[in-house]
Amino acid sequence: MPRSAELSTETLGAGVTKRSDLLADGRELFYYDDPGTSLGPERSVDARALDPRPESATMRQDVLSGDWITFATKRQNRVMLPSADADPLAPQTPSNPSEIPSRYDVAVFENRSPSFGPALAEATGGAPAASDAPRGLGDLAHLGLGRTRTSIGRCEVVCFSPDHSGSFGTQSVTRARTVIEAWADRTAALSALPGIEQVFPFENRGEAIGVTLPHPHGQIYAYPYVTPRTQRLLESIDRTAPDLFARVLAFEQASERVVLSGEHWTAFVPFAARWPLEVQLMPHRHVPDIAALSDAERDELAPLYLRLLRGVDALYQPERSAPAAEGSLEVPALAAGPTPYIAAWHQAPVHVGRDTVRLRLELTSPRRAADKLKFLAGSESAMHAWTAEILPETAAERLRAAVESVPAP
């Protein structure tokens, strides 16, 4: 193994220690050590011989919608469902030259095949400047044929554990708290980069969602624009009231759609849920992003979020369905596996809406039964006109029972 180096350290909340390093091609790597970790202060040096980083992708504007589409062609060569001995997110071994040189608790590093970056709006640190970076939100909002910009920004991978399989929900409360601290730290750091307009932590879980690595991990995207979903949210706030989120939370808390609640957080199935399994987790006070959460809010989030995720996995376990008919779109194998989902942490944009857009988790799953998935057909995919098959009140009742059936973390 390569020689070891003692890294610069920083103490974060909850007793988490952050250690900063560089990978062989210059990408940043951060270790977040659990409080009371068994790991020492030194980490192995990444001694791989790596190709230079790819150039930043290019965005093209769809003039009919105003949306910016990124063309990241280098992502075609990503690893697909590797075995444990070839896991690129596991600690390096002599036979597995993975992305992380040392044993770790939680690790965050720049994606080797990013959708955005490594170029930024202007040179900063080791990041190159883009030749055709967006010229602010006004520039991006302008409509025109054939408009292109460099896809500046940053994409990072967040490894929740060195284990080959699992998810956020399989972690301990201590480890979950460490990940929350890492999310907060990276949200603050990425928000400070030039040209960044929104930061988005998320976890994709399950092959049905399109996951290519079974390793327990999530990602963080730092966008050079305000995403279309958030733009529409800002429009809704403008059409209603600045305290829209407070009103939504009070409306949901008074309903039968509450799934789980604590002193600082409430989880609920939203009034107009699109997906067969959809739940939001919202803080009781207004905070724009994870970095703005208090220690008390972060402390409660760790066990509460774990319990919610474990309830999501327990939701379909009692069900047993007959095998699907030949040629159908039903997927019997789902009954034996964990629930696929996207866990999306919606945060306020970096420069607009900070006083009105509230942090919230939105967890969605296409699973509509133990052995069935919801597929988006013509109306949903082409027209964004949704039809839901399960009433939110019914979905909340089922999920609430599932959450109550799992032991507290």
Angle subtended by helix axes 295-314 and 392-405, to nearest 10:
100
Question: Which residues share a beta bridge with 59?
Answer: 70, 149
Active site residue 217: yes
* End-to-end Cα separation, the chain, in angstroms: 37
Q: How far is CA 295 from CA 32, 146, 280, 346, in A?
A: 17, 47, 21, 20
List strand residue ranges (DSSP E) for 45-147, in order. 58-61, 68-71, 106-110
Q: Single out the catalytic residue among 142, 164, 215, 217.
A: 217
Q: How far is CA 36 from CA 33, 84, 177, in A?
A: 8, 27, 13
CA distance 69 to 224: 12
Q: Map tokens 């790596």 to a residue.
A: 50
Q: Are strands 4-6 and 372-373 parallel, antiparallel or unpaired?
A: unpaired
Compute the chain's Rg from CA coordinates: 21
CA distance 356 to 244: 8
Residue 300's SS3 state is: helix
DSSP track, 34-63 = PTT-S--SEEE------PPPPPP-EEEE-T
Q: Map tokens 């098959």 to a residue.
A: 389
Question: Which residues share a beta bridge with 369?
Answer: 372
Residues labelled catalytic: 217
